[in-house]
Amino acid sequence: MNTQRRSRGGRGWLTALIVIIVLVLLAWLATKVFRGGGDPGANLPTPVTDAMVKQGEYLARAGDCAACHTAPGGKPFAGGLPMASPVGTIYSSNITPDPTTGIGDYTYGDFERAVRRGISREGRTLYPAMPYPSYSRVSDQDIQALYAYFTKAVAPVQQANRKTDIPWPLSMHWPLTYWRWFFAPKVEPATTPAPDAVVARGAYLVEGLGHCGACHTPRAITLQEKALSDHNGKVYLSGGESDNWIVPSLRGEPATGLGSVSEKELVTLLRDGRGERSATFGGMADVVEHSTRFMNDDDLTAIARYLKALTPAREETAITYDDAAHQALKQGNVAATGAQLYVDNCAACHRTDGNGYGEVYPALAGNPVVNGDRPGSLIRMVLHGGTMPIGREAPAQFTMPPFDHRLTDEQVAQVVTFIRTSWGNRGAAVTAAQVHEMRGKVGEGKAGMTAYDPRRSAE
């Protein structure tokens, strides 16, 4: 009797294994049969003109293509930039017109399928580090201009693409096809209803080429953005996480979003990376230096107006300035936790009133990043410092020095807590454990998506 049970059990496991193998083979076959749309053999429908190439260069700037496709010290668009993912490191590809290692012999159809549909020339689904879900909204005319620019005006570089550091079986591409089917929208013209043409243009740039949601929208456990436009809900642009930075909301929250930032100030931030109260940092500093500062004022205004039209994702009350911390510091009262550390290390630039110096050192009082639920970005700034981007009308750069070797975890926690609880700020206290975790995540000189420097790549 026991022998018969074991025999039946063994046959059951074998049957289950066979069923699983068959299902996997069918799933793999389905990814080969359904090609994903587009015509890989399609040619550019119109002759290439100088105006088309120039427009393509502008659009490549607007899409910040160089940020991912140029490695530190590397040639422009030759790829090789390491990008961290939950399953391993992905390296960006060579998109110069080199015929052997780049896209020099790509048809327009090959290019269109890769950019808007996330399908490589070989028919494999690209890793979603390439923001093709956003690029699906880009118009035919703009994709054609981008193709003209990359194939006719970019210098070819012979540099083989680097393999990912993702271990097998996670490195298999065919399961990504199902990710693309589930989460990447169909390629179709953008139909964003808007009260005026300026807001509509802003929506097109933000939701499409600008792919702002890639960083500013939270992601699900399956790594897709939870929303690709404002029509998908208020979660769109409500804040996210990228490259170990806590990315703030771009919606209308008065304390932690753009509710307290005027349209004019937002245009200035996009153009120059700093304003009277704020400054960009981390990946956004790169966006300004390599992308938005090159955009024309009409497009920057459109982006700002669209963002200002977004309603808050959560209810908040505005920050009201409180002068108590300022008066205490003026009188030499440093009894508050972290107050003496602030005076010794921060006040010279950010002032005892927390208001900083316009277009030089940002204000900490009322700063949305300071008041966010998660203090990771503020901790990282204290630990590793940062440099302002080069702006269109603000070429001078100012640097905040790193304090990781000067201050202990406990000291960083104390000074960050002081900043988050002074001048009316409403952030929660920070612990030494939170500082220690961030210190371990980002090592000095570690390469990442914020590492591109065009001055080094041009050498």
Query: Given this model, what pLDDT does residue 114 score?
Result: 96
* SS3 category, 37: coil
* Residue from 136, 133, 126 nearest 187 by CA: 136
- Beta bridge partners of residue 240, listed in sequence order: 247
| 142 contacts 209 by C-beta, under 8 angstroms | yes
Summarize pLDDT for 224-240 with one digit per residue, the tens: 999 999 999 999 999 99
pLDDT exceeds 70 at position 376? yes
Give tens-digit pLDDT for 192-225. 566 789 999 999 999 999 999 999 999 999 889 9
Report the pLDDT averaged over residues 285-308: 96
Q: Give the model confidence (pLDDT) of 254-296 as tens digits.
A: 999 999 999 999 999 999 999 888 899 888 998 999 999 999 9
**What's the pLDDT score for residue 3?**
53
- Residues 6 or more apart whose CB falls under 8 angstroms from that of 416 comprise 338, 375, 378, 379, 382, 430, 435
- 405's tokens: 């070797």
How long, in residues, is the chain? 459
CA 225 to chain centre: 11
Q: What is the pLDDT of residue 455?
A: 33
Q: Which pLDDT score is estimated for 447?
A: 36
Measured CA to CA, the distance from residue 282 to residue 290 in angstroms comes to 13
8 Å CB contact between 239 and 166: no
- What angle in degrees, to the nearest 10, is found between the helix axes of 297-308 and 263-272? 130
Residue position matching structure tokens 């050498």: 459
Percentage with pLDDT > 90 across the chain: 69
- Say if strands 399-400 and 88-91 run parallel, antiparallel, or are unpaired: unpaired
Q: Which fold, 324-453?
A: Cytochrome Bc1 Complex; Chain D, domain 2 (1.10.760)
Domain boundaries, the chain: 50-182, 197-308, 324-453
Calculate the alpha carbon distances from 231 to 69, 122, 187, 188, 248 in Å.
Answer: 30, 34, 17, 15, 20
C-alpha gyration radius of the chain = 25
pLDDT of residue 445: 37
Q: pLDDT band for 32, please (50, 70, 90 cuts).
A: low
pLDDT of residue 13: 65
| Confidence class for position 175, pLDDT limits 50, 70, 90 | confident
**Band of pLDDT at residue 11, cut at 50, 70 and 90:** low
Q: What is the pLDDT of residue 440?
A: 83
Q: Looking at 11-25, 161-175, 273-287, 298-312, which range is the least confident one?
A: 11-25
pLDDT at 147 over 80: yes
Mean pLDDT of the chain: 88
CA dihedral of residues 311, 291, 204, 104 (deg, nearest 10): -150
Selection from 26-35, 276-285, 363-372, 388-397 with the highest mean pLDDT: 363-372
Most confident range (mean pLDDT) of 356-360, 419-423, 449-453 is: 419-423
Nearest to 94 by CA among 85, 84, 102: 102
**Average pLDDT of span 63-83:** 93
Taking the CA atoms of 16, 18, 24 and 29 in sequence, report the sign of the dihedral they define: negative
